[in-house]
Structure 1
Amino acid sequence: MSKFEKPLISNFAVWDYVVFAAMLVVSASIGVFFAIKERKKKTSKEFLIGGRQMTCGPVALSLTASFMSAITVLGTPSEVVRYGAYYFFFFISYTFVIILSAELFIPVFYRSGITSTYEYLEHRFNNIVRYAATVMYIAQTILYTGVVVYAPALALNQVTGFNLWGSVFATGIVCTFYCTLGGLKAVVWTDAFQMVVMVVGFLSVLIEGTIQNGGPSKVWQTAINGSRLDIADFDVDPLRRHTFWTIAVGGTFTWLGIYGVNQSTVQRCISCKTEKHAKLALYLNLIGLWVILACAVFSGLVMYAHYEGCDPWTAGFIQAPDQMMPYFVMHIFAKMPGLPGLFVACAFSGTLSTVAASINALATVTFEDIVKSIFKNISDKKSTWISKGLCVVFGILCTVMAVVASLMGGVVQAALSIHGMCGGPMLGLFSLGILFPWTNWKGALGGLLTGITMSFWVAIGGFIYPAPASKSLPLLLRTDQCKLLNETINGTLSTVLPTTLATTIAPERSVLADNWYSLSYLYYSIVGYVSCIIVGLLISFITGHEHGRNIKPLFIRPVCNLVCFWSDKYMKKCWCGVRHDEEDEEELDDDTLKKDVKMTPVQEKTMGNSYDNDSCHKPPPGYNADEKSYTNTDVDKECQF
């Protein structure tokens, strides 16, 4: 079959079904395995965070698989074909994101002994801020997961002719099954397996595609001739869709909202048995991000070389750019049964890992932040069943949201836009709590609401009034070698030409549409973040800033420490009165402690309402400050901070 002809959608061969089914069976079996293995551990903590006994290896693979999903498998290569290899700059973004997450955010969350990320907000501010952030996270994750579910369904529809929505519901059912059965451990280990499948699938496409297009040097030269590698664009215009600055800066803020404070990421990091393992998992994950990104970008370059003279989307052979990758797979693997199935398994693996992690995180947040606040005394058995029930509910909701995703255009831009709209304000909220000790709860809440308003305003405006074509023009896409296209044009030229000319005059646009709404989608996160920070600090100072002695040192890491490390005197000033060393904590009087620490009846009886043993001056029970790990996760954490 010529690459310049539109192929008919063909059914899987037997080996395609075998490869694809094997991936699903192994994924489901991991859930069954952990359901049996962990059947004697009936607490919600074991189910939701794995008892804090995970190691860095599987967690690193899980993190990579979850956020390098089918969005990357399908969307990134087509973006490279249409706009060039600008995605290479995400190597810079990922590096900054992982360093900041590992050194700034994760230590605070891990040492605080929390289960839900938003539990931190109640300790630092109050429950109003916590509930507002929880609702925001639930909405964001359901929207994003809907996009992730829809993406591989496109692949199946294009490659096999499977019913599109049947594929969507099959994805949701399999994810919900093993997530509900095995909890976080099943999610992490299934992700690790699916990460391997993703890499193997990508490599098979890269190797065969490169061979069929004359080898690496020929592919590289074709990309150069087609301007796909002309990416040294340092234009600071924020309206340009992709430049060095939009990806390096905007991409950093967008992905930091995903990695630094997102429940799905934090939950897996705090499931590690030590803080060192949590940090190492992030750094190992960075290598995984680089590998997957490199595979996706080079797949795009190979695909461009293959379709240099006949772009299938411009020619009308496919209905959406995101179908280009599965279309390419059908061409290069037309005579190789089993390999189309491997590619679809690759796309499905990315989706299963992302959706399962999202479902688990949603169940955790809902249980910890909402259910436990309503029902105070829930037995371990009942809490486990509630957690599993929540997994089922969110599995259904995320699957249904895929219908909305079908209306949102390109999967990559849709996914990153959602993260930018919601992740930017959320990142700003946690930054107010961790970096700025003087922020009070009114400033935090006001900043969050302002950030959400600003980011949604620009994002929705951009969806209704797309940026001028001059700000996001695709590169030249040739169709002169397409056989069917030439025949169609010769037959319809006389009728198409007048319509085209009649629509060349663009309607007038407002100044707002040409500037504010035309902002690059990668800057949505910065709009939300900066708005949240500025308004949050202003409100805090207007309403009376927070006093340092009311804040526990585990909850902050002031960024100003970077410029006052040379003097203890200035260090104390940088901490704005927060008790940042053990010496300060020992000077606390009993009245202050009683205000800061809520004792359970058991603790009051045991301790005789006294604080002589100083138990609440220390980090959470079970936390070993020297080893930076939890040695006993079943202890009562009412006294934690």
Structure 2
Amino acid sequence: MRDACRAVGGFGTWDYVVFAAMLLISAGIGLYYAFAGGVQKSSREFLMGGRRMSALPVALSLTASFMSAVTVLGTPAEVYRFGARFSVFAITYALVVVISAEVFLPVFYRLGITSTYEYLELRFNRYLRLCGTALFIILTILYTGIVIYAPALALNQVTGFDLWGAVIATGTVCTFYCTLGGLKAVVWTDVFQVGIMVAGFAAVIIRAVVVQGGIGPILNDSYHGGRLNFWEFDPNPLQRHTFWTIIIGGTFTWLGVYGVNQSQVQRYIACKSRFQAKVSLYINLLGLWAILACAVLCGLAMYSIYKGCDPWTAKCVSALDQLMPYLVLDILHKFPGMPGLFVASAYSGTLSTVSSSINALAAVTVEDLIKPHFTSLSERKLSWISMGMSLFYGGVCIAMAAVASLLGGLLQAALSIFGMIGGPLLGLFSLGILFPFANPVGAFVGLLGGFTASLWVGIGAQIYPPLPHNSMPLNLSTAECNTTGLGAEGNWTSLMAPRATERPVLADYWYSLSYLYFSTLGTLVTVAVGIVASLLTGGLRQSVDRKFMINKEDFLSNFSFLKPKKEDKVEVLNWKQVADEGTDNPAFNHIEMDFTDNKEKVNGVHT
């Protein structure tokens, strides 16, 4: 028998040094891009890095934003509870990257837009652009609240810091360098932070392998504990994680992030050519696979170490998302600086994701809500407004972190929010890019239908969580714990399962739909209703410019490097050409004005 809650130590001097160094370097990058060479004199420089970014840093930035504290804390806990089935997401990520690079990226890059929601006005009308902007702002603020709250849990568990003090500190540091440095600071800080995050994962994995006597015992314990359950082909949509829910539902969920979400799209369309933008996505895929492998291995190692005495069931931690910090102090407390490295890893995940979100929120606010109504503003004033918006949204996201404390498991809560709001938005963009007969009326009716359906099932699932036989949790034992609070064999499902008599009929069917299908439902309902409504309101009679649609030439553009001079120049010039073409289009008036103020400089760069 061993104590249910072992003394796991606390932060030492070197831990604080490592942690503080990460914060100082992140802030320093923001200061550098704020003052080096005066590069933030225009809103385009602040929001898009001047569209001169290269593939590698953008790819690492995309990876860092994906690898938020939700991933660092939530994914290992997911594997610990439900097994390694989560690793099937490797296939999902490949599908998401290919579709994003080959369907959505070519259209956005060709149009040279800053806000992805500009596309909705060009393809449909201004009202749908405003709808998309509003939904994005709501989605991003809610999600950012979660990723600010997540590392605060880690800090609270590991160091005893005040939980809400940590929340405020997280948001403040992030807002500081994002407000000062713009997109360039966001991208290059992400490059630094992704290294910290990988180092944190590596420290845990290496030490766990040493403690358990090799990788063999970890895999053996995981096998006998049912954690190596990779393949489950049950087509039942009520099952939380199966091959089909992860492949189908996961693809729709993450496509709403990589394909059309401003936070991700803003970075890869800031690349200096379309080819570089596509390369950044494919390099990012390698990073996603590496992160997934690390997170799954951490979860399996955690199970191997705690297979006989689960800290959560034994009440050593108050939430499953605190298991990783608990494990770190348990196995790394004898190594000065290592617990600090892990907390810096979780904190880096938050900084990268939140900074990207704040920068994207500022971009859509300036491009979609301010520029169209205040066309006389100079670029210098727009740059200051962009900084002000970054500061404002930083404060809002800190406040929204309070909501995250009420949402339960961090990983599922984050993906559920993306599904409920991101799915209908994905459906709206899909209507515009894939269906030439989709018209504004059909798009609006489709968006309304998809949003209603996904919100209905999503909110219902929060009120009436699925029963354990749908979520399929695995056994967590306390047989080796020296505790009298639980029986010899504890299982969290017996403590958490609600009584069936308290649940309405819809709860066990409609509300029990796998959370990964929220996005699928929202997307498909939006597209289906949008198609029908468009056909009924004369969609076949309209004429749509092909530059707003996906074309066969977009697929052939992958081979543009075979014709380097001509093709590369066309890609670099695309954003300027579209701006010039937009003289008679109100959606492009503000872009035309940007170039009028600085025409000679622009021509000098591209001739």
TM-score by length of 1: 0.85
Q: Is the CA contact 1:134–1:365 (under 8 Å) kept in the aligned structure 2? A: yes
Aligned to 2:485: 488
Matching of residues 58-77 of structure 1 within 5 Å: 58-77=57-76
Aligned to 1:33: 32
CA distances 1:42-81 after superposition (whole Å, capped 9, x unpaired): 1100000000000001100000000111111000101111
Aligned to 1:557: 550
Matching of residues 301-320 of structure 1 within 5 Å: 301-320=300-319
Are positions 1:94 and 2:83 aligned together? Answer: no
Aligned to 1:245: 244
Aligned to 2:211: 212
Aligned to 2:528: 534
Deviation at 1:6, TM superposition (A): 1.2
Deviation at 1:560, TM superposition (A): 14
- Name the SS of the counterpart of 1:343 in structure 2: helix
Aligned to 1:608: none
Query: Could you tell me which of 493, 500, 504 is aligned with 1:506?
Result: 500
Q: Distance in 2 between matches of 1:111 and 1:236?
A: 39
| Range with greater deviation from structure 2 (369-378 or 143-152) | 369-378
Q: Is the CA contact 2:15–2:341 (under 8 Å) kept in the aligned structure 1? A: yes
Q: Distance in 2 between matches of 1:74 and 1:509?
A: 31
Aligned to 1:467: 466
| Range with greater deviation from structure 2 (351-360 or 439-448) | 439-448
Matching of residues 215-364 of structure 1 within 5 Å: 215-364=214-363
Aligned to 1:447: 446
Q: Distance in 2 between matches of 1:599 and 1:340?
A: 51
- Name the SS of the counterpart of 1:78 in structure 2: helix
Are positions 1:80 and 2:73 aligned together? Answer: no
Q: Distance in 2 between matches of 1:479 and 1:166?
A: 33
Q: Distance in 1 between matches of 2:236 and 2:192?
A: 42
Deviation at 1:231, TM superposition (A): 2.6
Q: Is the CA contact 2:10–2:329 (under 8 Å) kept in the aligned structure 1? A: no
Q: Is the CA contact 2:40–2:182 (under 8 Å) kept in the aligned structure 1? A: no
Deviation at 1:546, TM superposition (A): 5.2
Could you say if the C-alpha distance between residues 200 and 489 of structure 1 is closer, same or farther in structure 2, counting changes exceeding 3 Å?
A: closer
Q: Distance in 2 between matches of 1:535 and 1:34?
A: 46
Could you say if the C-alpha distance between residues 129 and 227 of structure 1 is closer, same or farther in structure 2, counting changes exceeding 3 Å?
A: same
| Range with greater deviation from structure 2 (39-48 or 437-446) | 39-48
| Range with greater deviation from structure 2 (22-31 or 471-480) | 471-480
Aligned to 2:183: 184
Deviation at 1:632, TM superposition (A): 9.5
- Name the SS of the counterpart of 2:477 in structure 1: coil
Aligned to 1:386: 385
Deviation at 1:530, TM superposition (A): 0.7
Are positions 1:545 and 2:544 aligned together? Answer: no
Could you say if the C-alpha distance between residues 634 and 358 of structure 1 is closer, same or farther in structure 2, counting changes exceeding 3 Å?
A: farther
Q: Is the CA contact 1:621–1:635 (under 8 Å) kept in the aligned structure 2? A: no
Q: Is the CA contact 2:253–2:415 (under 8 Å) kept in the aligned structure 1? A: yes
Which protein is bigger by CA-based radius of gyration? Answer: 1
Q: Distance in 1 between matches of 2:127 and 2:402?
A: 32
Could you say if the C-alpha distance between residues 444 and 31 of structure 1 is closer, same or farther in structure 2, counting changes exceeding 3 Å?
A: same
Deviation at 1:126, TM superposition (A): 0.7
Q: Distance in 2 between matches of 1:561 and 1:357?
A: 27
Deviation at 1:557, TM superposition (A): 1.2
Where does structure 2 lack aligned partners over 5 or more consecutive residues?
556-580
Deviation at 1:511, TM superposition (A): 2.6
Aligned to 1:570: none
Are positions 1:171 and 2:170 aligned together? Answer: yes
Q: Distance in 2 between matches of 1:353 and 1:201?
A: 15
Q: Distance in 2 between matches of 1:110 and 1:308?
A: 50
Aligned sequence identity (%) = 55
Deviation at 1:40, TM superposition (A): 4.8
Aligned to 1:202: 201
- Name the SS of the counterpart of 1:419 in structure 2: helix
- The one-letter amino acid of 2:546's match is P
Q: Distance in 2 between matches of 1:407 and 1:597?
A: 43
Q: Is the CA contact 2:33–2:39 (under 8 Å) kept in the aligned structure 1? A: no
Could you say if the C-alpha distance between residues 561 and 348 of structure 1 is closer, same or farther in structure 2, counting changes exceeding 3 Å?
A: closer
Q: Distance in 2 between matches of 1:328 and 1:603?
A: 56
Aligned to 1:366: 365
- Name the SS of the counterpart of 2:449 in structure 1: helix
Aligned to 1:581: none
CA distances 1:70-114 after superposition (whole Å, capped 9, x unpaired): 111000101111110011110010000000000110110001011
- Name the SS of the counterpart of 1:381 in structure 2: helix
Deviation at 1:449, TM superposition (A): 1.3
Deviation at 1:594, TM superposition (A): 9.8
Q: Is the CA contact 1:435–1:559 (under 8 Å) kept in the aligned structure 2? A: no
- Name the SS of the counterpart of 2:307 in structure 1: coil
CA distances 1:487-539 after superposition (whole Å, capped 9, x unpaired): 33589x9xx9xxx99x9853153331111000000000011001100111111
Could you say if the C-alpha distance between residues 416 and 598 of structure 1 is closer, same or farther in structure 2, counting changes exceeding 3 Å?
A: closer
Matching of residues 626-641 of structure 1 within 5 Å: 634=602
Q: Is the CA contact 2:81–2:473 (under 8 Å) kept in the aligned structure 1? A: yes
Q: Is the CA contact 2:362–2:389 (under 8 Å) kept in the aligned structure 1? A: yes
Q: Distance in 2 between matches of 1:327 and 1:633?
A: 56
Deviation at 1:155, TM superposition (A): 0.4
Count of residue pairs brought into register by the alignment: 573
Q: Is the CA contact 1:436–1:558 (under 8 Å) kept in the aligned structure 2? A: no
Q: Is the CA contact 2:465–2:512 (under 8 Å) kept in the aligned structure 1? A: yes
CA RMSD of aligned residues (A): 2.8
- Name the SS of the counterpart of 1:401 in structure 2: helix
Could you say if the C-alpha distance between residues 595 and 44 of structure 1 is closer, same or farther in structure 2, counting changes exceeding 3 Å?
A: closer
Deviation at 1:479, TM superposition (A): 0.3
- Name the SS of the counterpart of 2:370 in structure 1: helix
Q: Is the CA contact 1:84–1:230 (under 8 Å) kept in the aligned structure 2? A: yes
Q: Distance in 2 between matches of 1:602 and 1:387?
A: 16
Q: Distance in 2 between matches of 1:47 and 1:265?
A: 16
Higher helix share: 2
Deviation at 1:634, TM superposition (A): 4.2
Q: Distance in 2 between matches of 1:223 and 1:174?
A: 39
Could you say if the C-alpha distance between residues 601 and 265 of structure 1 is closer, same or farther in structure 2, counting changes exceeding 3 Å?
A: closer
Q: Distance in 2 between matches of 1:71 and 1:20?
A: 19
Q: Distance in 2 between matches of 1:594 and 1:211?
A: 65
CA distances 1:179-211 after superposition (whole Å, capped 9, x unpaired): 011100000000010001000110010000111
Deviation at 1:316, TM superposition (A): 1.1
Could you say if the C-alpha distance between residues 561 and 73 of structure 1 is closer, same or farther in structure 2, counting changes exceeding 3 Å?
A: closer
Could you say if the C-alpha distance between residues 49 and 228 of structure 1 is closer, same or farther in structure 2, counting changes exceeding 3 Å?
A: same
Could you say if the C-alpha distance between residues 44 and 370 of structure 1 is closer, same or farther in structure 2, counting changes exceeding 3 Å?
A: same
Aligned to 1:53: 52
Could you say if the C-alpha distance between residues 210 and 46 of structure 1 is closer, same or farther in structure 2, counting changes exceeding 3 Å?
A: same
CA distances 1:191-247 after superposition (whole Å, capped 9, x unpaired): 010001000110010000111012101111111011100232100000001111111
Could you say if the C-alpha distance between residues 128 and 204 of structure 1 is closer, same or farther in structure 2, counting changes exceeding 3 Å?
A: same
- Name the SS of the counterpart of 1:128 in structure 2: helix
Q: Is the CA contact 2:122–2:587 (under 8 Å) kept in the aligned structure 1? A: no
TM-score by length of 2: 0.90
Q: Distance in 1 between matches of 2:247 and 2:498?
A: 35
Query: Could you tell me which of 506, 511, 527 is aligned with 1:517?
Result: 511
- Name the SS of the counterpart of 2:150 in structure 1: helix
- Name the SS of the counterpart of 2:501 in structure 1: coil
Q: Is the CA contact 1:9–1:160 (under 8 Å) kept in the aligned structure 2? A: no
Q: Distance in 2 between matches of 1:123 and 1:209?
A: 54
Could you say if the C-alpha distance between residues 513 and 156 of structure 1 is closer, same or farther in structure 2, counting changes exceeding 3 Å?
A: same
Q: Is the CA contact 1:28–1:177 (under 8 Å) kept in the aligned structure 2? A: yes
| Range with greater deviation from structure 2 (463-472 or 426-435) | 463-472
